[in-house]
Amino acid sequence: MDKLLVKYMQGEAKLTEMQFIDQWIIASEHNLKYFTHFKLIWDISMLLRIENGIDTEKAWQEFKQWKKTYLQLLSILYPRC
Q: According to the model, what pLDDT value does residue 51 have? A: 56
d(CA 49, CA 56): 7
State the distance between the two ends of the chain, measured CA to CA, in whole angstroms: 17
Q: According to the model, what pLDDT value does residue 59 have? A: 79
Range of lowest pLDDT (4-8, 10-14, 24-28, 39-43): 39-43
Compute the half-sphere exposure of residue 65: CA atoms within 13 Å on the CB side of its CA: 6
Q: According to the model, what pLDDT value does residue 64 have? A: 87
- pLDDT tens, 16-60? 999 999 999 999 999 999 999 999 888 888 777 655 566 778 878
Q: What is the value of pTM for the model shown?
A: 0.59
